[in-house]
Amino acid sequence: MPSALINVPKQAKRGEIVEIKTLMSHIMETGYRRTATGELIPRDIITSFSCRYNGVEIFRADLFPAIAANPFITFFTVATESGKFDFEWIGDKGFSEAASAAIVVE
């Protein structure tokens, strides 16, 4: 049951720099570990994260096996207009999750 925690300020002034924080639940299995019987545990990671602000992509990141479980990604953007942030996480084994958050810009 994947779940995400998103922290976007509800309100901001036009032109203000706002911080966006995202936390996605994921095991981020590296693909390098072995079980007690020596079998390789297959890789299962998030490979890509992106954020769109009213449809326009403002942030994208590729993720790799060295990133810890439950990746916490934060970044900054300039609040230009009221609207919606759409977040998307894509990964191995068909992993695909989306979340969104609204912002009011005055």
Q: Which spans of this chain sit near other proteins (rule: CB under 8 A)? A: 1, 3, 5-7, 21, 23, 25, 27-28, 68-70, 72
State which residue, 10 or 55, has the beta carbon closest to other proteins. Answer: 10
Q: Which long-range contacts (CB under 8 A, 24 or more apart) does 44-47 make?
A: 44/91, 44/92, 44/93, 44/95, 45/91, 45/92, 46/71, 46/89, 46/90, 46/91, 46/92, 46/95, 47/90, 47/91, 47/92
18 neighbors 36 (Cβ within 8 angstroms):
no
To other proteins, the closest distance from the beta carbon of 21 in angstroms equals 5
To other proteins, the closest distance from the beta carbon of 20 in angstroms equals 10
To other proteins, the closest distance from the beta carbon of 36 in angstroms equals 15
To other proteins, the closest distance from the beta carbon of 22 in angstroms equals 8
State which residue, 25 or 50, has the beta carbon closest to other proteins. Answer: 25
State which residue, 27 or 41, has the beta carbon closest to other proteins. Answer: 27
State which residue, 73 or 79, has the beta carbon closest to other proteins. Answer: 73
Q: How far is residue 80 from each of residues 52, 73, 96, 104, measured CA to CA in Å?
A: 13, 21, 28, 10
